[in-house]
Structure 1
Amino acid sequence: MTTYVDKGARPTGGRFLSFDHLTFWVSNAKQAASYYVTRLGFQPLAYRGLETGSRKTAAHVVRQDRVVFVFESTYETEENDISSSVAVHGDAVKDVAFEVEDLDHIVEHAKAKGAVILRDIWEERDDFGIVRMAKLKTYAKNTHTLVDRSKYRGKFLPGFLVSPEDPLIEHLPQGKLNFIDHVVSNMPDGDMEDTALWYERMLQFHRFWSVDDKQVFTEYSALKSIVMSNWEETVKVPINEPAKGKKKSQIQEYVEYHGGAGVQHIALNTKDIIGSIKNLKSRGVEFLSIPSTYYDIIREKLAASPVKVNESIDTLQDLNILIDYDDDGYLLQIFTKNMQDKPTLFLEVIQRNNHNGFGAGNFKSLFEAIEADQHKRGNL
Structure 2
Amino acid sequence: MAVCARRLCHIAFHVPPGHLLGRDLQRLFGFQPLAAREADGWRQLALRSGDAVLLVNEGAGPREPLYGLDPCHAVPSAANLCFEVPDVGEAARALAARGCAVQVPPVDVRDARGAATYAVVRSPVARLSLTLLEQRADARGPFLPGFEPVSSAPGPGWVSHVDHLTLACTPGSTPALMRWFQHHLGFCHLPLSPGEDPEVGLEVSAGPGLGGLRLTALQAPPGCTVPTLVFAESLPRSTTGDQDQVEQFLARHGGPGLQHVGLYTPSIVEAAEGVVAAGGRLLTPPDAYYQQPGKERQILDAGHQPHLLARQGILLDGDRDQFLLQVFTKSLFAEDTFFLELIQRQGATGFGQGNIRALWQSVQEQAVRDQKA
TM-score where L is the length of structure 1: 0.81
SS in 2 for 1:244: coil
The answer to whether the aligner puts 1:67 opposite 2:56 as a matched pair is no
The answer to whether the aligner puts 1:224 opposite 2:214 as a matched pair is yes
The answer to whether the aligner puts 1:205 opposite 2:191 as a matched pair is no
1:182-209 CA-to-partner distances (Å, cap 9, x unmatched) read 1111122232221111101111111113
Q: Which amino acid aligns with 1:140?
A: A
Match of 1:194 among 173, 176, 181: 176
SS in 1 for 2:177: helix
Is the contact between residue 73 and residue 82 of structure 1 (CA under 8 Å) also seen in structure 2? no
Shift of 1:271: 0.7
Q: After superposition, where does 1:119-138 map in structure 2 within 5 Å?
A: 119-138=104-123
Shift of 1:103: 4.4
Residue ranges of structure 1 left out of the alignment (5+ in a row): 1-11, 373-380
Match of 1:162 among 138, 142, 149: 149
Name the residue aligned to 1:240: 232
| More displaced stretch, 229-238 vs 105-114 | 105-114
Whole-angstrom distance in 2 between the partners of 1:270 and 1:227: 21
Is the contact between residue 206 and residue 361 of structure 2 (CA under 8 Å) also seen in structure 1? no
Name the residue aligned to 2:262: 267
1:59-113 CA-to-partner distances (Å, cap 9, x unmatched) read 12222222211111235499x984841xx2x110110112334545544443332
Match of 2:288 among 293, 301, 306: 293
The answer to whether the aligner puts 1:35 opposite 2:15 as a matched pair is no
Q: Which amino acid aligns with 1:240?
A: A
Name the residue aligned to 2:103: 118
More helix by percentage: 1
SS in 2 for 1:284: coil
| More displaced stretch, 285-294 vs 344-353 | 285-294
Is the contact between residue 315 and residue 327 of structure 2 (CA under 8 Å) also seen in structure 1? yes
The answer to whether the aligner puts 1:342 opposite 2:335 as a matched pair is yes
Whole-angstrom distance in 1 between the partners of 2:61 and 2:183: 37
SS in 2 for 1:216: strand
Is the contact between residue 228 and residue 236 of structure 1 (CA under 8 Å) also seen in structure 2? yes
SS in 2 for 1:279: helix
The answer to whether the aligner puts 1:149 opposite 2:141 as a matched pair is no
Whole-angstrom distance in 1 between the partners of 2:235 and 2:319: 26
Whole-angstrom distance in 2 between the partners of 1:220 and 1:61: 41
The answer to whether the aligner puts 1:320 opposite 2:313 as a matched pair is yes
SS in 2 for 1:154: coil
Query: Over aligned residue pairs, what C-alpha RMSD do you find?
Result: 3.1
Whole-angstrom distance in 2 between the partners of 1:48 and 1:263: 24
Shift of 1:29: 5.8
Is the contact between residue 180 and residue 268 of structure 1 (CA under 8 Å) also seen in structure 2? yes
1:295-324 CA-to-partner distances (Å, cap 9, x unmatched) read 344745856x9x952333332222221111
Matched length: 346
Change (3 A) 1:302 1:206: farther
Name the residue aligned to 1:278: 273
Whole-angstrom distance in 2 between the partners of 1:159 and 1:370: 49
SS in 1 for 2:48: strand
The answer to whether the aligner puts 1:364 opposite 2:353 as a matched pair is no
Whole-angstrom distance in 1 between the partners of 2:320 and 2:87: 38
Whole-angstrom distance in 2 between the partners of 1:118 and 1:77: 16
Change (3 A) 1:309 1:136: same
Shift of 1:365: 3.6
Whole-angstrom distance in 1 between the partners of 2:71 and 2:131: 21
Shift of 1:362: 0.7
Is the contact between residue 301 and residue 319 of structure 2 (CA under 8 Å) also seen in structure 1? no
Q: Which amino acid aligns with 2:44?
A: A
Name the residue aligned to 2:370: none
Whole-angstrom distance in 1 between the partners of 2:94 and 2:144: 25
Change (3 A) 1:30 1:255: closer
Shift of 1:56: 2.8
Name the residue aligned to 2:13: 24
Name the residue aligned to 2:253: 258
SS in 1 for 2:342: strand
SS in 1 for 2:6: strand
Is the contact between residue 141 and residue 149 of structure 2 (CA under 8 Å) also seen in structure 1? no
